[in-house]
Amino acid sequence: MRYAHITGWGKFIPERVMTNDDMAKLVNTSDGWIRKMTGIGQRHLVGPKDSCATMATAAALEALDVANISAAQIGMIIVATSTPDYAFPSTACLVQDALGADNAGAFDLSAACSGFIYALGMAADAIKAKSVDYALVIGSEVMSRVLDWTDRNTCVLFGDGAGAVVLQGSDQPGGVLSTVLRADGSGGDMLYVRSNYNSMPETVQAAEVVQSNGGPGSEAPSCNGYLKMNGREVFRFATRILEHATRDVMYRAGWQADEIDVFVPHQANIRIIDSAAHALGIPTEKVFSNIEHYGNTSAASIPIAICEAASLGRLRPNDKVVMVGFGAGLTWGAAAVEWGTPRILNRTNRTLNRVRLGAAGMRSRARRAWRRMEDRLAGADDTTHSPPKAPHPSHSHEKSNNGHSTDPVPTEKVPLKAEERDASKL
């Protein structure tokens, strides 16, 4: 029987920090209120040189180092993200190109905050089916670009970052033993970001399909691509579903709650995490949470937490680990993982991976140059398009694919909207 083991992990956290006190300068809130209601103390935001793809690549490179393998050995790359730099090409393809992973298939997966668990389950299944031997699973999010920075109910919650793991096939029992992936589209109106693809005729817009059900399409396009959330309903859903998904995945793995060594939930709200752990009977010392430092990084939250837990020595060989997440869709999922023995970091391989990264960049530029030369030789018009590049947040005139400035954070407090619901509804 084939097993899928996590043998490498890595993360990328942007340098820019926004504390709760900084948030209080923008919207009517306070450090005390945010900490009490969410457990968040600060969050990190992308800088001028950061993008969904660059963060994903940095996290992936670190995961390859820990796994002591090269990008050429990877057979599949999945990037879980709701905030890609482009509608297409996928972020995963940009990562594949940057790493020089010539033997990998690559695609993005959209399941919001549940995305990493979904991607982990798909990659593990591919390994167990012997489709690939190595897979790279990444969660990368630039949530700051889809936030309404005048809405104190949502902008205080989210941060940016990326995390990645390497899965390796083995005949040795362990690794990802079971996964649960579920969805309920009837709750789509509870948490969403409307796309700005409004140039198509209204008669064929997908929003029309859900309009009659009071879903996201029932709101006028003034939503403008910002995140919208019904905080109370999401909170109730999350507190129920984390417990149910965890019990389901434990049952499939043949585990009991008292056997769990480390519980790694999606980092959305400390009250949700505490409620789920209490319902499951999992003591606080077995729960790993870093929400205070990063906020909700959506699909990146679980892999970032896994990286930190591993670096702090919280994950030991043969530990029974449960990862569980929930998100827009509505979606939810969980994974039961028997942690393996960490490898000793090979510094030579780390150096070689950096050399390969540079070579991959040169190879990519050479291939683009060759295609342009072929066009000229074929007599095509010399109207080439620039290759996809990471958006540059420091350029205020640049727009993201949601139509926003790539650095939408205001520099001063915005007056509270009269129609804004009370923040206590979170």
Residue type, 250: M
Confidence band (pLDDT; 50, 70, 90) for 54? very high
Q: Of 5, 44, 266, 404, which residue is the catalytic one?
A: 266
Number of domains in the chain: 2
pTM for the structure as a whole: 0.84
113 an active-site residue?
Answer: yes
What are the pLDDT digits (tens) for 186-214?
999 999 998 866 544 443 333 333 333 33
Q: For 156, phi and psi rounded to 5 degrees?
A: -80, -10
Q: Is the pLDDT of residue 228 over 60?
A: yes
Residue 350 counted as domain residue: no
Residue 379 counted as domain residue: no
Least confident segment among 35-49, 96-110, 273-287, 400-414: 400-414
Does residue 217 share a domain with residue 84? Answer: no
Q: Is the pLDDT of residue 319 over 70?
A: yes
CATH of the domain at 150: 3.40.47.10
Q: Is the pLDDT of residue 147 over 70?
A: yes
Residue 381 counted as domain residue: no
Q: Of 20, 296, 353, 401, which residue is the catalytic one?
A: 296
397 an active-site residue?
Answer: no
Does residue 315 share a domain with residue 262? Answer: yes
What are the pLDDT digits (tens) for 361-415?
788 888 888 877 877 887 766 555 565 654 433 343 344 444 444 566 666 665 5
Among 198, 222, 246, the domain-final residue is: 222
230 an active-site residue?
Answer: no
Does residue 176 share a domain with residue 36? Answer: yes
Residue 46 counted as domain residue: yes
- Give the whole-angstrom CA distance, residue 92 versus residue 109: 9
Which position has the higher pLDDT, 387 or 175?
Answer: 175
Residue 401 counted as domain residue: yes
| Per-residue pLDDT at 194 | 86
Does residue 402 share a domain with residue 297? Answer: yes
Produce one character per residue of 254-281: b if its CB has 16 or more CB atoms within 10 Å, e if not.
ebebeebbbbbbbbbbbbbbbbbbebbe
Does residue 72 share a domain with residue 180? Answer: yes
Confidence band (pLDDT; 50, 70, 90) for 215? very low
Does residue 163 share a domain with residue 218? Answer: no
Does residue 247 share a domain with residue 132? Answer: yes
For residue 212, give its domain range. Answer: 189-222
Does residue 165 share a domain with residue 155? Answer: yes
Which position has the higher pLDDT, 20 or 426?
Answer: 20
Does residue 197 share a domain with residue 179? Answer: no
Residue 110 counted as domain residue: yes
Q: Of 113, 155, 223, 307, which residue is the catalytic one?
A: 113
Residue 356 counted as domain residue: no
Residue 368 counted as domain residue: no
Among 178, 206, 222, the domain-final residue is: 222
Query: In percent, how much of the chain has pLDDT > 70?
Result: 81
Average pLDDT of the chain?
85
- Give the whole-angstrom CA distance, residue 151 versus residue 155: 6
